[in-house]
Amino acid sequence: MSKVFELQIPLNTILNSPLFTCQNILFRSKGDKESGTKLDIQTKEQEKDEEDKELLCSRCNHLITSSSHKIEVSGRHSHLLKNPAGDKFDLRCFSEAQGCETKGVPIPDFSWFPGYKWTFAFCTNCSMQSGWFYLSPNDNFYGLIRKTITGEY
Q: Which tens digits make up the pLDDT trace of 98-131?
A: 999 999 999 999 999 999 999 999 999 999 999 9
What pLDDT is attached to residue 151? 85
Report the C-alpha gap between 107 and 118 in whole angstroms.
5
Q: Which tens digits make up the pLDDT trace of 58-78?
A: 999 999 999 999 999 999 999
What pLDDT is attached to residue 51? 76
pTM of the model: 0.67
Show me where the domains of the chain are located: 3-49, 53-150
Q: Is residue 142 helix, strand or coil? A: strand
Q: Which tens digits make up the pLDDT trace of 11-57?
A: 555 455 544 444 444 444 444 444 444 444 444 444 554 578 999 99
- More confident: 37 or 92: 92
Does domain 53-150 match CATH 2.170.150.20?
Answer: yes
Contacts of 128 (CB under 8 A, 6+ apart): 57, 58, 59, 60, 122, 148
For residue 91, how many other CB atoms are within 10 A of its CB? 22
What pLDDT is attached to residue 9? 55
For residues 132-153, average pLDDT: 93
What pLDDT is attached to residue 106? 96
What pLDDT is attached to residue 142? 98
Q: Which residues face 136 on adjacent strands?
A: none
